[in-house]
Every structure is written in C-alpha cells, then in structure tokens.
Amino acid sequence: MSDWEISSDRLLIRPMRIDEAREWHAIRASAPFDPLTRSVEESMAMIAAMQNRAAPDSDGWQQFSIIAKDGSMLGDLGIRFTPPWNATAEIGFAVDPAQRGKGIGSEAVGAMVRRLFHRGRRRVMAVTDVRNRPAQRVLERNWFRLEGRFVQSWREGNQWFDELSYARLVSD
C-alpha cells in the first residue's frame, strides 16, 4: 500500500481505513449536487470490501482519505481503476465543508493525478453535475479539459440535471 501513500505540501493521501468510514460518510453526505443514498453501515461495508481487494489499483473503485498533517480527515478521493490495458482512471472527490475554499481539493487531485500517471495511467477523467462549479474549478486548475455534456443524465428528486465530462491525458 505504500505505493499509494502520497504526500503533498499539506496532505497525506492514502487508501481509506475502516475506522475512517463514518467520517467519510458524513463528509460525502454534505457534498453538494451528489446526494448520498446509502447508510453509514453500507459505507462501512464498502470500505471493508475495498480493503480486501488484490491491490488498491485493481479494477473497480477505491476510496482514498485526504488527511491533514495533524491527522484530521479533510475529505476523500474516489478512484475507479480500469484494467491496466485501458490505462484510464475516473476521479471523484469531496472536501469537508469546514475545509472548502482552501485549495485542499486542488492539491489532493493534483497529487493523485501525478501518481496515476506515474503508475501507468494515460487518461484520467471526471464527471460532475453542471451546477457544481467548485468541482469544475478544481478540475480546471489541474489541467482537465471539458470534453462533453451529458444532457439530463443526473436525477435528483423529480428534476433532471446535466453532467459535464472532463479529462486529462498524461501528454497534456
């Protein structure tokens, strides 16, 4: 797992531990434009299952904790790894509401994207609700380009919203 422990100026990013699942659930539940529909117990079960994967970067989703140097949880990165021959990963992220606006998301995404490229991925993509301008700014600060718009692809309650697709290549 040490290959997936990433340090930046202010952060430690590492595969999420089961004892962090409750805090992760609370942070994700506060994320705008992405209503959380699972229970705390389901979130804990997801993290437990991820810990049993062959490797953090094996096919499927892996949650990574974003930890401050003082040990407090600031947010998470979710990475969907595809088979190595595809060399693509999808990234999602959330930051604790008390920590938003401090560049934590941008720093964490940048550090993870560099690691993904270093580990052989050639393309990293993200999809965000069209209303989620803060997430779009994080992606743009990290050189992701807007690739497309999915019209009425995201349902929240009785309303449908568009999503935006972003990507960055290792050659960008």
Percent of the chain's residues with pLDDT above 70: 99
First to last CA, the chain: 28
Reply yes or no on whether the pLDDT at 64 is more than 80. yes
Q: What is the pLDDT of residues 34-52, one digit of tens each?
A: 777 888 899 889 899 988 8
Mean residue pLDDT of the chain comes to: 92
pTM confidence score: 0.93
Reply yes or no on whether the pLDDT at 135 is more than 80. yes
Distance CA 46, CA 32 (A): 21
Residue 35 — φ and ψ, nearest 5°? -60, 130
Reply yes or no on whether the pLDDT at 61 is more than 60. yes
Reply yes or no on whether the pLDDT at 1 is more than 60. no
Higher pLDDT among residues 143 and 44, named by residue = 143
Residue 159 pLDDT: 92
Q: What is the pLDDT of residues 105-128, one digit of tens each?
A: 999 999 999 999 999 999 999 999
Q: What does the DSSP assignment read for the chain?
A: -GGG-EE-SSEEEEEPPGGGHHHHHHHHHT-TT----S-HHHHHHHHHHHHTSSSTTSSEEEEEEEEETTS-EEEEEEEEEPPTTT-EEEEEEEE-GGGTTSSHHHHHHHHHHHHHHHTT--EEEEEEETT-HHHHHHHHHTT-EEEEEEEEEEEETTEEEEEEEEEEETT-
Reply yes or no on whether the pLDDT at 20 is more than 70. yes
| Alpha carbon separation from 134 to 9, 77, 137 (Å, rounded) | 21, 15, 5
Residue 34 pLDDT: 73
Domain boundaries along the sequence of the chain = 2-169
Distance CA 58, CA 55 (A): 5
Pair of tokens at residue 172: 């960008």
Please state the separation of Cα 79 from the chain's center in Å.
6
Q: How confident is the model at residue 29 (pLDDT cuts 50, 70, 90)?
A: confident
Q: Provide CATH code, domain 2-169.
A: 3.40.630.30
Mean pLDDT of 47-65: 88
